[in-house]
Amino acid sequence: MSPAQEDRIGAAALLASPLSLLYWTAWQAYWLPFRLGLRRPKKPHTPIICIGSLLAGGAGKTPVTVHLIDVLESKGYKTVLAASGYRSPHYKNPAAAPDGELDPREWGDEPALIRSLRPQVPIVIGKDRVRLAEIIQERWPDHVMLMDDGFQHLELEKDLTIVLDPDEVTNNLMLPAGPYREPRKAGRSRADVIFPGEFTIETQPTRFIDPDGVEVPTPEEAQVICAIGRPSRFVKSLETAGVAIRGLKTLPDHDPLNEGNLFSSFEPEIPVVVTGKDWVKLRHRKDLAGWTILSASHDVSIAPASRFDRILNRSLPADSSNDES
């Protein structure tokens, strides 16, 4: 199934459309007081850059977030990652994560993945983004707060909002009949930068990493396990890389991957390929002996880089010695 097929309007979506109307009504009740100025967002820290999405998962925020960490550090800025840690204990109990490897069961799969990729970056976890900004102001007042998701968290004022809205999506309905968290047109009007649009995300070739962190050649064939939003995008990326898919097991986004028979339908002689977000959970399992597990990942960049750099500079402290504008 292609991403477009995943997101198109089908019979199930039509049946769920009355629930989407309720969701739309709830969103309007939340958004309208901010639009009318009856409620104002808080700003306990600055600068705050948000990488968000109009979709409920599967938009590809994490590679963009990692790229922005690198861009900001190349300009001399230090960053703190703020993430929700969805399905983790700290989702409802905001906290700063400790240094070192993070257990996804405690801190969430996406924070654990980003910590493994950029171990120098402090991370704060919780759905209350205002509280996360307060923690950052208390502990890292000179850092850029980089939010992985949180575009719909209107209580927090951002300096720059970057929004992903993949153009292959054809179902514009809100949850649960469609993939959208808010009305698409209104959400796009609130964003400072939208991908795709004036800027594009350029994706590098897929890389395959073994459990020791060593890059290996692209496998000719593979079995796939993934617990992400819109898994067909991941499958398509593997097929584009030249991998023949011999088996596929999909689970809900952020699934802990702790079920006992996870590999029951797979052949031990064929490699199992997973996303980086899923590998940080799988690596804790005790039944990996005898299996070849590879994580697939890709780097991204934003083009045109020079124009995006000018927009990024406007959200950063103007009096900083690091400002290259």
pLDDT, tens digit (0-9, with 9 covering 90-100), for 141-176: 999 999 999 999 999 999 999 999 988 788 888 999
- Give me the residue spans of the domains in the chain: 3-32+41-202+301-314, 207-298
Q: What is the pTM of this model?
A: 0.91
For residue 59, pLDDT over 60 is answered with yes
pLDDT at 26: 96
pLDDT at 3: 44
Q: What is the pLDDT of residues 276-289, one digit of tens each?
A: 999 999 999 999 99
pLDDT-derived band at 57 (thresholds 50, 70, 90) equals confident
* Strands 123-125 and 95-96, bridge-based pairing: antiparallel
More confident residue, 325 or 289: 289
Helices (H), the chain: 3-7, 11-35, 61-74, 104-107, 109-117, 129-139, 184-190, 231-240, 276-282, 305-314
pLDDT at 293: 98
Q: How far apart are CA 215 and CA 176, in angstroms?
A: 39
Q: What is the pLDDT of residues 304-321, one digit of tens each?
A: 999 999 999 999 987 544
Q: What is the pLDDT of residues 164-218, one digit of tens each?
A: 998 878 888 899 988 999 999 999 999 999 999 989 999 999 999 999 999 999 9
Q: What is the pLDDT of residues 222-258, one digit of tens each?
A: 999 999 988 999 999 999 999 999 999 999 999 999 9
pLDDT at 36: 96
Question: DSSP secondary-structure letter at 156?
Answer: B
pLDDT at 23: 94
pLDDT at 2: 44
Contact 262, 223 (CB under 8 A): no
Averaged confidence pLDDT in the chain? 92
pLDDT at 170: 83
* Strands 207-209 and 293-297, bridge-based pairing: antiparallel
Residue pointed to by tokens 């209350």: 128
Q: How far apart are CA 297 and CA 320, in angstroms?
A: 34
Helices (H), 75-190: 104-107, 109-117, 129-139, 184-190
Query: Candidates 3.40.50, 1.20.1740, 2.40.10, 3.40.140; correct CATH number of 207-298?
Result: 3.40.50
- Angle at alpha carbon of residue 229, lines to 5 and 298, rounded to 5°: 100
For residue 1, pLDDT over 50 is answered with no
State the number of CA atoms in the 13 A half-sphere of 42 facing the CB.
Answer: 12
pLDDT-derived band at 4 (thresholds 50, 70, 90) equals very low
pLDDT-derived band at 13 (thresholds 50, 70, 90) equals low
For residue 322, pLDDT over 80 is answered with no
